[in-house]
Amino acid sequence: MSASAVTGANVAANGIRQHYLHHLGTGAPLVLVPGITSPAVTWGFVAERLAREFDVYVLDVRGRGLSQSGPDLDYCLDSLADDLSGFIAALGLSGVTVLGHSMGARIAIRAATRNPAGMARLLLVDPPVSGPGRRAYPSKLSWYVDSIRQAEKGMDAEAMRAFCPTWSREQRALRAEWLHTCFEPAIVTAFEGFHTDDIHRDLPGLPVPACLMVATRGGVIEPADEAEIQSLNPGIRIERVPAAGHMIPWDNFDGFLAATDKLLGTALAGRKAA
C-alpha cells in the first residue's frame, strides 16, 4: 500500500466535526487514536505500514489537527471517548481494532467502557497510568505548553530539536508544522485528566479484549503497573518494546511493529511495500 492511497475527510459525529485521515487498506478496519499533542498527520508513517493489513483511519482528536476546536467544547475524557464511539458509528464500522497511543489509549479504554459498539479489540500503547492517589505522569505540562506557544509563533525542525532531540529532521519538521493546531486549553485539560481520571476502574469490566504495549524507557508504565493491570484484567496480554521511550514508533519502529505482530497476530514487521 503506497502513501498515495491516503485521503482526508470530515464527518459529523458526537455533535462535532471530526477530521480523519484514511489510509486505504483491504483488511478489517483499524482506528488509530493519537496522543495528547499528536495530530493525525504525524502518525502517517505508522498508518502507512498498518494499511498493509488493515483499513486504517487516523483521528484528529478534538482540539487538535483539523477537527473542531475552540473554547466552547468540552475536552474531558468522557467527551473524547464519546467522540471515538460516535466516529465508529458515523462511518458504520464494525470489527474495529482500536489502536490508542498514550492519551489515545485512555480514550480507547473509556470508549469501550461507555459504548463498545463496533469495537473488536483494543491495542493500548503505553497509556499513562497516573490517576487519583497515584504517582504523577513523568512528563511536565510545561513541555507541552512551551512547545505549542513556540509553534504558534512559527518554528522549524531545528527549534523542535530542543523538545524532541532524538527524532529525525523530517519528524521534527512535521511536528513543528502541525503543533500549532493543538488548542492549549484542550491540552491542559487532558494533562490534568491524566491525574484526575481513574482508568483503572474501567479495566476489570472491559467488554472487548485488550492488549498492552509497553515502552521500556520513560517510566510511564513500570513493572508494578503491569502487574496491577493484569490483576485487574488477567486477559490483557503485554509486550515490551526494547530501546524505546514513550513515543515508541519514533524510537524503535521495528520494535513497535514486532510487538504489534505478537499482540494482533499480524505480519507487519516482515511485509514489503506493495
Domain ranges of the chain: 6-138+194-264
What is the rounded distance in angstroms from the CA atom of residue 23 to the CA atom of residue 100?
16
Give the pLDDT of residue 272. Answer: 55
CA-to-CA separations, 54 to 32, 51, 100, 113, in angstroms, rounded? 11, 5, 15, 24
Q: How far apart are CA 96 and CA 77, in angstroms?
A: 20
Report pLDDT for 2: 46
Phi, psi of 242, deg, nearest 5 = -70, 155
Query: Dihedral of the CA atoms 239, 242, 247, 250 (nearest 10)?
Result: -120
Regions of the chain with pLDDT less than 70: 1-4, 271-274
* Residue where the block lists cell 502487574: 227
Q: By C-alpha distance, which of 243, 41, 208, 248 is closest to 127?
A: 248
Instruction: Just list the catalytic residues.
Output: 102, 222, 246
Considering the entire predicted model, what is its pTM?
0.96
CATH 3.40.50.1820 corresponds to the domain 6-138+194-264: yes
Instruction: Compute the distance between CA of residue 52 and CA of residue 25 in angstroms, rounded to an integer.
Output: 6
The pLDDT value recorded for residue 274 is: 47
Q: Which of 44, 129, 139, 56 is nearest to 93 (CA)?
A: 56
Task: Yes or no: say if 68 and 92 are a contact pair by the CB < 8 Å rule.
Answer: no
